[in-house]
Structure 1
Amino acid sequence: MEFLFADWLGTPTWFWLVFIALVTALTAFDLGFLHKDDREIGIRESLGLSAFYISVALLFGGWIWFARGPEPGMQYFTGFFIEKALSIDNVFVISLIFSYFAIPARYQYRALLWGIIGVIVLRGLMIAGGAMLLHEAYWVLYLFAAFLIFTGIKMLFSGDAPMDISNNRAIKFIATHIRMTPELHGEHFFARTPHPKTGKMVIAATPLFLALVVINFADLVFAVDSVPAIFAITTDTFIVYTSNVMAILGLRALYFALSAMVHRFHYLKYALALILVYIGTKIFVADFLLDGGKFPPVLSLGVTFALIAGGVGWSLWKTRQEARGIV
């Protein structure tokens, strides 16, 4: 039993096993019990499931706080809230992807579930790579910080041009190199279809599979922002990975509610931009002005939560005023 208490990536192995067991149980419960039949998810059910996942994530953070102390606990909550807020942009892009491929709502949940399983693996690889880089060369953190500041400033002054899915390179590459069916085949990612030349039955990918692949590519783009943001809060691999995954797990539940009212969060991006600038700036302030000291974790959590709450509140109020014709 000694291996349970041996460190793995700076954290006792049994912490990792508890987390893996929790994620496995939630995924199995979701896929095997809640949604074993493909059907459309209503807004009320979406909000209820999202509240459940957020509650589990907060309880998990409370356990980290109790088992490892207040500082790791606050770092987890800060990372969780940042990733949860950044995921709203993911929802908008995922909605565009589903619309482009004409995926009915009753099949979207299945694609989201398998997409998020892929995201968990891809995020793990990115976070492991980031942790190795920081272990070998701490100065990489300054590159992360500078990138966050640059990204935040760019978000503040960027326009609102919608993403053009039709020009996505991943879509063009896959459509060129993989045999595709022109129509959906229910919930299936692959289907048997006659070859256009020989007439022989062959296996081909469906548009649902292509949507799944593009969703994972889109998440890799978003991870370029979110992973450095979490590393700028803490270099503890366990905190970085668990806060990311617990935020992502509830994304599929929240998607159906957010996709119906994502336009109401139009001004949240400015709050997210300020968060990225703040996180990147505090790395330089802590190391060069505070002589290697740390920002109090409670300050980072407070600033993050205040900016997110302010962005959500302002968005809801402003879009309501605009809907009434009040400028």
Structure 2
Amino acid sequence: MSVPLWLWLATVFGLLGLLVVDLVLVARRPHEVSFGEAGRWVTFYVSLAVLFGLGIWYFSGGVYAGEFFAGYITEYSLSIDNLFIFLIIMNTFKVPKVHQGKVLLVGILIALVMRGIFIAVGAAVIAQFSWVFYLFGAFLIYTGYKLARTKHDEEEEYKENALLRFVRRVYPVADRYHDARSFIKIDGKRFVTPMFIVMLAIGTTDLLFALDSIPAIFGLTKEPFLVFTANAFALMGLRQLYFLLGGLLNKLVYLSIGLSLILAFIGVKLVLEALHTNSLPFLNGGEPLDVPTIGIEVSLPVIIGVLVITTVASLMKSKRDEAAAK
């Protein structure tokens, strides 16, 4: 897939422009996001991603379009899992609901920049060392196993990462929120506010999730343009999705199992592809192995099927539990 520089620049600036407009709207009128507003924005961003995918199909063919949609759906699904942690962070820092939209949006902007760097590095490594897919595949299978054993708990304690602890050591932190301001002067001394800390927490925490989501999407497409845009579209609607799902998050009881199956499936796909193009001298004399590979025409239906079954099963179980509790 040949992507000219102007298209890269147009796409990046277009996506950033949408997020800036979103940020301006949030800053101009801080408010608690309603279910209806969140639903309209989520519909807008999902429709935008679908139109983008159809554009790829029209100009570059069905294979690349399938890779984009598979990557987008996978990244968006993994982003839903991130919302559990975002909810914990919001509760830990006691963020006022009226300012939660700005916190999420700025945190997502930070995450988008960091993921862009991560994707660029990953693409460069893959271009030089094809055997890295063995590592990616094994990592995804292991991550899928760990995720299957994970239980999300809204009361789970959030532990600040090294960057946040460093910021607290370098800058004094105000003891309360000052509207949506990130910095403030008190008696002539400059302080960062809890708003700044929580935005940094959201942005940097997302990078930890990228450690499994980026290898996962590289398992679906080798095109950096598709990897970046699928990640960008998945992140762009994440703020509104947080408010749209709301209490529904706790009803997705089987989400971790579904996502773990997807990660393990992509991990197996990566290992098979690595074997099929093997160049490691200590394995089969450095020659490729005659093993089957999994194409995007199989991957996309599997990913969608697992998510549909997981969602339906989760909602059915939650409904039964609610009925039994009455």
Taking structure 2 as the reference length, the TM-score comes to 0.90
Give secondary structure in 2 for the equivalent of 1:291: coil
The amino acid of 1:311's aligned partner reads: T
The amino acid of 2:208's aligned partner reads: V
The Cα of 1:175 is off from its aligned counterpart by: 2.3
The amino acid of 1:186's aligned partner reads: D
Question: Which stretch of structure 1 is more off in the superposition, 164-173 or 223-232?
Answer: 164-173
The Cα of 1:172 is off from its aligned counterpart by: 3.4
Counterpart residue number, 1:106? 98
Counterpart residue number, 2:286? none
Q: How does 1:149-298 map to 2 (within 5 A)?
A: 149-160=141-152, 163-166=156-159, 168-194=161-187, 201-288=188-275, 291=290, 294-298=293-297
The amino acid of 2:226's aligned partner reads: I
Does the 8 Å contact 2:272/2:293 carry over to 1? no
Counterpart residue number, 1:3? none
Which structure 1 segments of 5+ residues have no match? 1-6, 195-200
CA distance in 2, matches of 1:45, 1:159: 30
Change (3 A) 1:216 1:25: closer
The amino acid of 2:313's aligned partner reads: W
Counterpart residue number, 2:14? 22
The Cα of 1:26 is off from its aligned counterpart by: 1.5
CA distance in 1, matches of 2:145, 2:24: 43
> Quick one: percent identity of the two aligned structures?
33
Give secondary structure in 2 for the equivalent of 1:283: helix
CA distance in 2, matches of 1:206, 1:319: 39
The Cα of 1:15 is off from its aligned counterpart by: 2.4
- Taking only aligned residues, the RMSD between alpha carbons, in angstroms, comes to 2.1
Give secondary structure in 2 for the equivalent of 1:165: coil
The Cα of 1:57 is off from its aligned counterpart by: 0.8
CA distance in 2, matches of 1:56, 1:212: 26
Give secondary structure in 1 for the equivalent of 2:83: helix
Counterpart residue number, 1:317? 316
Counterpart residue number, 1:299? 298
The Cα of 1:157 is off from its aligned counterpart by: 2.8
The Cα of 1:33 is off from its aligned counterpart by: 4.0
The amino acid of 1:280's aligned partner reads: G
Deviation string 1:131-168 (CA, Å, 9 cap, x unpaired) is 11111111111101110001111222344566421465
Give secondary structure in 2 for the equivalent of 1:40: coil
Does the 8 Å contact 1:43/1:256 carry over to 2? yes
Counterpart check, 1:51 vs 2:43: yes
Does the 8 Å contact 1:92/1:259 carry over to 2? no
The amino acid of 2:311's aligned partner reads: V
Give secondary structure in 2 for the equivalent of 1:324: helix
Counterpart residue number, 1:119? 111
Counterpart residue number, 2:130? 138
Does the 8 Å contact 2:120/2:224 carry over to 1? yes
CA distance in 1, matches of 2:129, 2:175: 49
Deviation string 1:73-123 (CA, Å, 9 cap, x unpaired) is 100000100011111121111111111111111111111111111111100
Give secondary structure in 1 for the equivalent of 2:59: helix
CA distance in 2, matches of 1:163, 1:241: 31
Counterpart residue number, 1:71? 63
How many residues in Structure 1 have an aligned counterpart in Structure 2? 313
Taking structure 1 as the reference length, the TM-score comes to 0.90
CA distance in 1, matches of 2:15, 2:239: 14
CA distance in 2, matches of 1:233, 1:105: 37
Give secondary structure in 2 for the equivalent of 1:325: helix
CA distance in 2, matches of 1:249, 1:57: 10
Change (3 A) 1:171 1:165: farther
Does the 8 Å contact 1:95/1:259 carry over to 2? no
CA distance in 2, matches of 1:177, 1:266: 40
Deviation string 1:271-300 (CA, Å, 9 cap, x unpaired) is 000000000101223443673775221211
Deviation string 1:24-53 (CA, Å, 9 cap, x unpaired) is 331233223466211110112111111111
The amino acid of 1:320's aligned partner reads: K
Does the 8 Å contact 1:91/1:259 carry over to 2? no
Which structure 2 segments of 5+ residues have no match? 277-288
